[in-house]
Structure 1
Amino acid sequence: MSDAALAPADTRTVRLVYFAWVRERIGLPEETLAIPADLITVADLARWLKTRGEGYETAFADETVVRAALDRTHAKPGTPLGTATEIAFFPPMTGG
């Protein structure tokens, strides 16, 4: 039975992918989670993730720093999660 089959009706299952220091602080490269259905935006998800433990709290301490992509499309904190099935979090990109 998949995690999606076990998820309560008031949740939805998404794949979360973490890059660079976000991954290092959380301690996972990716995970599949049943997230509350009432999380509307990227910022809502980041705030919820902060409640999952010290690593998440550290990674998302400054919500203005971590960037996100919904189904591989860059998204701002206020962007609705919509029907995204993969949400990636990563630090700002630098370089040239």
Structure 2
Amino acid sequence: MKMNKCGLSTAAFLISIAFSTAAFADRYRYEVIGEGIGHTRDEAYDAASYDASRKCYLNWGQSTQEQTILVEEQQPDTGYWYVKLAEGCISED
């Protein structure tokens, strides 16, 4: 007995939904805050970005790569740069 292409496509689709937990999972979007310091603005930004991505990952989330810089300043007493940013994070329930 032969199945036509439509029947095969429908069967494959139904099987993929049956075995996919993501099809029924709720997705939550939230923001994590990252902070970093560095000799240069770029070093501080990289440290803050890493901090935010790490916090998202540790909360079983996935980064959206969307970032908003909240604070960016050079500390007058040390000369180091300080960056604080918010990064979008998505997790599934």
Question: So what's the TM-score if we normalise by structure 1?
Answer: 0.29
Question: So what's the TM-score if we normalise by structure 2?
Answer: 0.29
**Structure with the higher helix share, 1 or 2:** 2
